[in-house]
Amino acid sequence: MTRSPKAKASNRIPVTNVKSRKMKSLLYIPIIALVLTSCSKLDNYPSPNATLTGKVIDAGLKATVQTEIGSGGTRIKLEEISWSDNPTPFYFYSMQDGTFNNTKLFTSTNKISVEGAFVPLVQYDATGTITVDNRKTVQLSNTPADVEFQVEPFLRVTWIGDPVPNTDSTITVRVQFTRGTSNPNFQNDISDLFLYLNTTPYTGNNDYDNRYSKQLTYSGSDGNNFLGQTITLTTAGKLPAKRSYWLRVGARTTYGLKQYNYTDIKKVVIP
């Protein structure tokens, strides 16, 4: 920045009050000039324009693996290997139906994997050696990349019929859960089954109304006895009428971060 001659003038010592006021007003000129001056240079890098879409699919059922939104659900891990073989990973989260879409990624080469309530794509033995590595190396560019991960969920939770509203302002649902993997290393005990109820379509362990939701907990291996059985769950409390509710059932095992596997979401209107 160069100073204007007027700014130099303002450096003179003021002699009288009148003069000093004038000087002060002169002082504003460079300040205003400074404020109004702005950089017009554009960023020297292009904005992120690479797109990554995809889904996490149950290898057995060929349907997407339902999850919750936010940090308790499935997330996508990008390791950018274009410039480092030991990058700090970048994560973003899946939508609750198991699909994902990010349109603001940079052009780069990435190892992509997903993490969630399913058999991990990268597995280690007891000494920390990678034994299974199902990461995908994907080139991201302005041509959208679409990746599909075939995974084995820990549990498959499925509706048996539709939720039934009862006359006592409750809703009864019937579900069953089965193992989604035959790998014994990932067949941990089932710890709980949770009927989530919420007043928005975004329901799951991340957001539910605990006054009406219902949880069944199993101690030890007790829950395993219910594999494949039809389980009936009824909401707690009395639901206010003339509203819509969104329900889903989650179940989980004691593996790792103990994330839930879910059914899809069903809407029930209480007249």
Partner 1 sequence: MKFYKYLTLIALLIFVNACTKLNVPPLNVIQDDDVFNSKGGITIYMARLYSELPIEDFRYSPARGLNNFWIISPFPAVTGEALSRDQRNSVTESVLYWGDAYKLIRETNYFLQTLPKHTGDFTKTDIDSWLGEAHFIRAFTYFSLAKRYGGVPIVSNVLQYPTTDLNSLDVPRASEEKTYDFIAADLDTAFSKMAETNQTGRANKYAAAALKSRAMLFAGSIAKYNQVSFFDDNHNRLCGIPSDKAVTYFKAAYDAARLLDGKYSLYKKTFAAGDKEAQYHNYVNLFFDAQSPENILIKGYSYPQSVHGYDAYNIPLQFMGPNGYSSEVSPTLNFVELFDGLPKNPDGTIKNLDAGGKYLYFDNTMDIFANAEPRLRATVILPGDVFKGQNMEIRRGIYTGSIAGGISPFIPAGSTIQYPTTNIVQSANGSQTAYTLPNGSKMNPAGASGTFFSEETCSLTGFSIRKYLDESLDKSQVKENFETQSWIEIRYAEVLLNRAEAAYELFNAGTPGTDYLQDAYTAINQVRERAGADLLAGTGSLNDITIIRNERRKELGFENKIWWDLKRWRIIDKEQNNVLYRVLMPFYVAQNGKYIFDVRKDEKNRFYTFDPKWYYEQIPNDEITKSKSLKQNPGY
List the interface residues with partner 1, window 115-134 (CB under 8 A): 124, 126-129
The answer to whether 248 and 263 have CB atoms below 8 angstroms apart is yes
* One residue of 103, 210, 225, 244 binding partner 1 per CB under 8 A: 210
CB of 91 to partner 1, least distance (A): 9
Helix (H, G, I), strand (E, B) or coil at 13: coil
**Closer residue to partner 1, CB minimum distance, 44 or 86:** 86
**Closer residue to partner 1, CB minimum distance, 25 or 210:** 210
b/e for 235-271, b at 16 or more Cβ within 10 A?
bbeebeeeeebbbbbbbbbebeeebbbbbebbebeee
Give the amino acid at 179: R
Residues contacting partner 1: total by CB under 8 A:
26
* Two structure tokens written together for 155: 């549990």
Contact string (CB under 8 A) for partner 1, positions 175-204, x = contact: ----------------xx-x----------
**Closer residue to partner 1, CB minimum distance, 75 or 179:** 75
Round to whole Å and give the CA distance between 89 and 96.
22
* One residue of 99, 134, 172, 215 binding partner 1 per CB under 8 A: 215
**Closer residue to partner 1, CB minimum distance, 94 or 205:** 205
Vertex 161 angle, CA 55 and 156, to 5° = 40
Residues 6 or more apart whose CB falls under 8 angstroms from that of 147 comprise: 52, 53, 54, 112, 136, 138
217 makes contact with partner 1 (CB under 8 A): yes
Give contact residues for partner 1 (rule: CB under 8 A): 71-72, 84, 86, 88-89, 124, 126-129, 191-192, 194, 205, 210-211, 213, 215, 217, 237, 254-258
